[in-house]
Amino acid sequence: MSIRIIIADDHKIMRDGLRSLIEKQHNMEIIGEAANGRTTVTLALKLSPDVIVMDVSMPDMNGIEATRKIIEKSPRVKILALSMFSDKKFVAEMLSAGASGYLLKDSAARELMHAIQAVVKNRSYLSPAIADIMIEEYRQIVTKENLSVFSLLTSREREVLQYIAEGKTIKEIAFALKISVKTAETYRQHIMDKLDIHTIAGLTKYAIKEGLTSL
């Protein structure tokens, strides 16, 4: 059984090129074309394709919105984004909308065929260049999320934070650490700025979560 495909791109020369490439495959057929997102949604619901090769930037509803609407109403349809944009925002938005894959328009024909086969088999597919971008983005997110109190704050700031969490006043903290009240207040402000937490209750909760003190 052939893989039934809709091509969505606002440039006719691009649609013609994709049609020529895809129709050379013995197990693929083009069942429709669209030049904008709104028409793509209409065709998708009418024709129930297996795969939509979807341009991200199109007039009268972009590919991201079209993807979201199609997936909401017909989740079995696989959407393969094909774009000139490698910006992680576009990639993330398309994947979040429900796309199963993302290719750059300068990808080789062989890669496009491989991507179509992959998404039909319920696998995801990203161009190598896109995969590199998303992996780096993931690493940055993981690094940010894994920043602990021990890497964010100095030893003295951690001491001050623990005292704050244990309910001590600034004067009591200054006395315990043998520093001036003004210095203790400065430490507290630095802690709040670094953690982006600006209430005592929030600092207390954070300190407990990080293991600096207990309830």
In a domain, 123, yes or no: yes
pLDDT in tens, 153-210: 898 999 999 999 999 999 999 999 999 999 999 999 999 999 999 999 999 998 988 8
Q: How far apart are alpha carbons 83 and 94 in whole angstroms? A: 11
Whole-number percent of the chain with pLDDT over 90 = 72
Phi, psi of 30 (to 5 degrees): -90, 125
| pLDDT confidence band for 141 (50 / 70 / 90) | low
Let me know whether 158 and 191 are in one domain. yes
The whole-number pLDDT of residue 26 equals 92
Q: Which of 47, 46, 26, 95 is nearest to 67 (CA)?
A: 95
pLDDT in tens, 63-106: 999 999 999 999 999 999 998 887 778 888 899 999 999 999 88
Let me know whether 24 and 118 are in one domain. yes
Q: What is the domain count for the chain? A: 2
Domain that residue 156 falls in: 149-209
Let me know whether 114 and 30 are in one domain. yes
Let me know whether 93 and 159 are in one domain. no
The whole-number pLDDT of residue 116 equals 97
SS3 99: coil
Q: What is the CATH number of the domain that holds 182?
A: 1.10.10.10
- Is 146 a residue whose pLDDT tops 70? no
